[in-house]
Structure 1
């Protein structure tokens, strides 16, 4: 069983100082230092809080890479939860679980014409190595059995439901529509065709 280890108030956000609380945990299973960001105090969250499971993406979250929409999704989540409250589970699963250096190797292959899944497979990895068991433990430690899940990824919905978390509603992200990066439209199309992500590619902004 996971337990809350520490809670610290801090301000977050790309363009503003949004109050939040960062939470660390003990008893997680995969050895990674996952954290939760709680917007609004935990005792003020509604019975079915808005949740996002966001996998770490250094190139997108920090360096605003044009190869993905991860940073835009993270910023959208923070702004939305600033308005509505919620819990952001920040999971240390870089590159769909293959790690940062392997992800950069995959970028090289993508530059040679492979899509993101083909590149991972060429390096000897499955399409997606991420697991969400620790996310479930984090929600349980925070006493959250029922959620509104912010995602376009059906595998995240399935993972929570199979673990006994009640997904009351799915809230799609819209960052991909606004991003309009030169390099990421093919990436988004691949996520739809290969990963069954629920994205409306027709609405993607042109760069």
Structure 2
């Protein structure tokens, strides 16, 4: 099922990342190959979860930004934890795909403590963009270079991108990964995150058409 687990650690097609480990990872969503990378430019440790043979074209691909509060603690403030689970389920169901889990992307790249400060400001009435800016930080500071380099190392030429974010599509194209399709990753809105989701759609250009269907629920 997983066809690149014989690849040798230490290999890399791009000078920016070094593959240091390949190990089978059994999860509640299926058995993946966990491929560990060192981002030599930033010194950060990164991981890709690979399912099936992803070489070539059209692998279902998710670039997932690290979110401790959502991914680990199940925060209802965002949809990150729901998206992570949904993406892994979709990749396993597809039988072929990769999830690149991007460490260093906490709070859209501003870090954990700054994200918690931004959440305080949101509790006082600011939206997620206003909160970042009020702290003197970018609305979105994420860089997807390392994700593209990981995909290059995995011999992925083009992807079916599992995302609602146009910036991810543009970033992959800029770094030489072609997009054959952009696949929506829509989660059920909650009362706690509907304002956040609407801000992402209205101020950050995320494609979230399902929010129209719940306009009167919250």
Normalised by the size of structure 1, how large is the TM-score? 0.91
Aligned to 2:172: 160
- Using the TM superposition, give the Cα deviation of residue 27 of structure 1 relative to its aligned residue in structure 2, in angstroms: 4.8
Paired residues of 2:60 and 2:162 also in contact (CA < 8 A): yes
User: How far apart, CA to CA, are the structure 1 residues paired with 2:129 and 2:39?
Assistant: 32
Aligned equivalents of 1:139 and 1:28: distance in 2? 16
2:198: which partner in 1? 189
- The separation in 2 between residues aligned to 1:198 and 1:9, in whole angstroms, is 34
Which of residues 43, 66, 69 in structure 1 aligns to 2:76?
66
**How far did 1:29 drift?**
2.4
Find the partner of 2:98 among 59, 84, 87. Answer: 87
Q: Give the direction of change, closer, same or farther, for the CA distance of 1:116–1:104 in structure 2 (3 Å limit).
A: same
RMSD over aligned Cα atoms:
1.6
Is the 8 Å Cα contact of residues 5 and 25 (structure 1) preserved in structure 2? yes
Report the counterpart of residue 151 of structure 1 in structure 2: 163
SS of corresponding position for 2:19: strand
Deviation at 1:3, TM superposition (A): 3.5
Q: How many residues align?
A: 199
Alignment map for 1:39-188 (pairs within 5 Å): 39-40=51-52, 42=53, 47-84=57-94, 85-92=96-103, 93-175=105-187, 178=188, 180-188=189-197
Q: CA deviation at 1:20?
A: 0.6
- Secondary structure of 1:33's counterpart equals strand
Distance 2:39 2:162 in 1: 25
> Compared with structure 1, are the counterparts of its residues 7 and 60 closer, same or farther at alpha carbon in structure 2 (3 Å cutoff)?
same
Asked if structure 2 preserves the Cα contact closer than 8 Å seen for 1:4 and 1:142, the reply is no
**Which residue pairs with 1:11 in the alignment?**
26
Q: CA deviation at 1:26?
A: 3.5
Deviations 1:67-94 (A, max 9, x none): 1101111010010011112100000110
More helix by share: 1
CA contact (8 A) 2:65 2:101 kept: yes
By how many angstroms is 1:31 displaced? 2.2
CA distance in 2, matches of 1:21, 1:143: 15
Seen in structure 2, the aligned counterparts of structure 1 residues 64 and 27 have a Cα distance that, compared at 3 Å, is closer
Q: What secondary structure is seen at the aligned counterpart in 2 of 1:34?
A: strand
Structure 1: how far apart are the matches of 2:64 and 2:139?
A: 17
Gapped runs of 5+ residues in structure 1? Answer: none
